[in-house]
Structure 1
Amino acid sequence: MIVLLSILAAIRASPIVQTSPPLVSLDQLHHAPSCDDPHGCRSFWDIIRSCIITIFLCVWVSVHPNIPSPDETWPQVAVRRVGLMLSAIVAPEIMVAWALKQRVTAATLARMHKGEGWTTTHGFFATMGGFIEYDGNRPVRVLLPDQLGSYSLTGNGDFPRIAKAEIEDRSKGDAVSKTLVVLQTGWFVTQCIARGIRGLPVTELELVTVAFATLNFVIYLLWWDKPLNVRCGVRVYKKRRTEQPDEDVDGKVADPVGFWATLGDALF
């Protein structure tokens, strides 16, 4: 709504031009003569800084990594996060496919376990490796969503029941921070649209940033209910009257609906 009102204000402020706004490259802008109006000019570095900040905010907040393995060190977690961010910059369409796949899976799980009080947030939490089988204090494996029926939080219950508020408490992001980033990105896009309406020059880098921000906004909406930067999963135990769990090959937490699986599905 704020973005729409800003666009309408820009339209009223100046007549709509029929020709396309002039498109300039950063090299042309860098060698252009200095501007006489200090309030209406944008320098080469102002544009660079604005675009980089917008791209960084888009990637940093839109990428929601899955829960790391319990035996994964913080350097490994950091490297994986940087890898996902680089993937979001180089191949954002793969991130959209990953987010869409997790969204569909989470919504399906929420419908299947509606009787247990599950929401889409619960579905995302299970999809991102939120429930881990433990043998005493030793982590055994991550549980796929269809395996949760044989487990509970103590080994005596019927199902791993956890409140949505408890899951959200583990998340490092909230609606306020997400809204602020959306507003910041929306303001950048609005400025570029307003400049185009008024016939002012728009750089190629700004157009690329607008396209990138729009694509990341789609990712952001798909992952709106997914917890952000959760470091630890929930311990669950095998119910005492069920069969023994299958042998775990390497004892590490897997990636139920992970980025690399989605990348493989997209490429092969």
Structure 2
Amino acid sequence: MLILLLTYYLSQSAHIKAGPIPASIELRDVGSCDGQNSQRSLANIVGSCLSTIFLCTWVAVHPNIHFRAEKENQRWIEKWLWEPLHEIVTYKLPLFLWALLVPEYILSWAVRQYLQAGVISKQVPRWTRTHGHFMIMGGFHLFRLPADAPSIPLPLKSSESSSLVIPTGDHLREDEIPVCPLKFEDIPIDILKIIAPTETELKDRGKSDDLTKIIVLVQTLWFVIQCIARGTQSLPLTELEVVTLAYATLNLFIYVFWWDKPRNVECPIRIYKTSAASHEESGETAGKWGDDLGVGWIEKIVGYIVGIQDHYVTMSEKRSIPMFWSGRIKTSLQFPGGIGPSILGSAFGAIHCIAWSSEFPSRSELVIWRISCVAMITVPLMVTIICAVAVANERKEIPDAWMAFILGIPFVILLLSVWLYIASRMATLVVAFTALRSLPPAAYTTVDWTTFIPHI
């Protein structure tokens, strides 16, 4: 509703401040039947941009499974109104805001999951990357059976009994007690081969198919083509279109890395243990953040920026898979996988420089836009340097004595500018809308597509 009111206000302001359309443009509009350019309205510009941004920030995101335990004897208002609203506010809306304000972080998350899914898929016979994605996104959840429920242990290849069981008696599923999501290391490969669905079954669990993804990609690509066509004909892009172009460009890469990941899966596969069986995590013990308030916050900020936060998660203490969980990726993949997204993050900021010399309604908006562009390029660039130095150190190409000196400068710049980056993202969005109140007349001119088609 607020966006609609803002659009209406801006459309009225545009008609008042932009003034009459020059006669040259009016003539081109009259001659549109002869292949000349016609006019577009402010509503067309805003509608196209908002729909594309929505595709890039809501539809394109492939969340992990947000498990919620079922409750008995729920009232209808709680089941059909409160819980869906609670899910949107506490989980889907924060993801949307992350994709809106820090889209390159969503890309780095997609890259980490893509790499880890490939590693997992190679360890189980006939598994694909889709299986790896499903494992990472919390596809298997541990439950305890009721005390009186009969079961038999799942067999292992070594003929030994496993602590995981198959229920064989009659009991209500509502009586099963959820424990925690399971990592790949928590389930023996012999059992995964038995209980894991096929790739077709996994894709059936998702809420979108390949055709839906292709349609979204085509719509996003069409917006990019329109922007390129306007540039070739020397037609200006509005600041809102520049922002949308940056989202659309990054969205193409996000979709590539998440193509095999099932989208919006809500229910994991249940893995059982008896009520008396204990559960201990397999694999490495999770690390601990610093106890000091200042050092701990700095450690967390840097950890989340470079994507190593999963090494500090104790899964047995969680009731659902963490929002940005990607698995504990090995260092040999962690930092090389961070270089590409951070470079694209700088490119995302650089795209905003298309409007560097645009006609802004005021000098202050021009200054804010340029400062924001510099911040959005600098912060991802510092992450690129940190990841590149970490890769070089892993390969023993940089002496340890030089590490602190080389990492010191980008590390300090990153800590000082990370909040400026968030403010810059918000500033560009605000300026993109406020600048609509006074657009140059040429911004309303549409692309003359006949110039791209060979004709006599």
**TM-score, scaled to structure 1:** 0.76
Equivalent position of 1:16 in the other structure: none
Gap change, CA 1:93 and 1:152, over 3 Å in 2: same
Q: Which amino acid letter does the alignment assign opposite residue 172 of structure 1?
A: K
2:264 corresponds to 1:232: no
1:258 CA drift (Å): 2.1
Unpaired stretches in structure 2, ≥5 consecutive residues? 1-10, 33-37, 71-82, 146-175, 282-314, 330-337, 339-382, 384-413, 416-456
Deviates more, 1:81-90 or 1:159-168: 159-168
- Asked if the contact 2:135/2:184 (under 8 Å) is kept, the reply is yes
2:18 corresponds to 1:31: yes
Q: Trace 1:29-108 onto structure 2 (pairs within 5 A).
A: 31-34=18-21, 36=26, 37=29, 40-71=38-69, 73-79=83-89, 80-108=91-119
Equivalent position of 2:253 in the other structure: 218
> Aligned partners of 1:57 and 1:254: how far apart in 2?
25
2:230 corresponds to 1:195: yes
Q: Trace 1:99-118 onto structure 2 (pairs within 5 A).
A: 99-113=110-124, 115=125, 117-118=126-127
The one of 118, 130, 135 aligned to 2:139: 130
SS, match of residue 188 in structure 2: helix
> Aligned partners of 1:168 and 1:112: how far apart in 2?
20
Query: Can you list the C-alpha shifts for 1:94-130, whole angstroms capped at 9, x where unaligned?
Result: 11111111111111101111x1x21100000010000
- Asked if the contact 2:280/2:316 (under 8 Å) is kept, the reply is no
Equivalent position of 2:6 in the other structure: none
Q: Which amino acid letter does the alignment assign opposite residue 147 of structure 1?
A: D
- Asked if the contact 2:133/2:260 (under 8 Å) is kept, the reply is yes
Gap change, CA 1:47 and 1:74, over 3 Å in 2: same
> Aligned partners of 1:252 and 1:122: how far apart in 2?
22
> Aligned partners of 1:251 and 1:196: how far apart in 2?
50
The one of 154, 179, 182 aligned to 2:217: 182
> Aligned partners of 2:316 and 2:259: how far apart in 1?
33
Q: What is the root-mean-square deviation in Å for CA atoms of aligned residues? A: 3.1
Gap change, CA 1:150 and 1:195, over 3 Å in 2: closer
Equivalent position of 2:243 in the other structure: 208
Percent sequence identity is 39
- Asked if the contact 1:133/1:141 (under 8 Å) is kept, the reply is yes
SS, match of residue 236 in structure 1: strand
Q: Which amino acid letter does the alignment assign opposite residue 145 of structure 1?
A: F
2:180 corresponds to 1:145: no
- Asked if the contact 1:127/1:257 (under 8 Å) is kept, the reply is no
Higher helix share: 2
> Aligned partners of 1:191 and 1:180: how far apart in 2?
17
SS, match of residue 63 in structure 1: coil
Deviates more, 1:73-82 or 1:54-63: 73-82
Length, aligned pairs only: 231
1:41 CA drift (Å): 0.8
Query: Can you list the C-alpha shifts for 1:6-29, whole angstroms capped at 9, x where unaligned?
Result: xxxxxxxxxxxxxxxxxxxx9879
> Aligned partners of 1:92 and 1:189: how far apart in 2?
17
1:45 CA drift (Å): 1.9
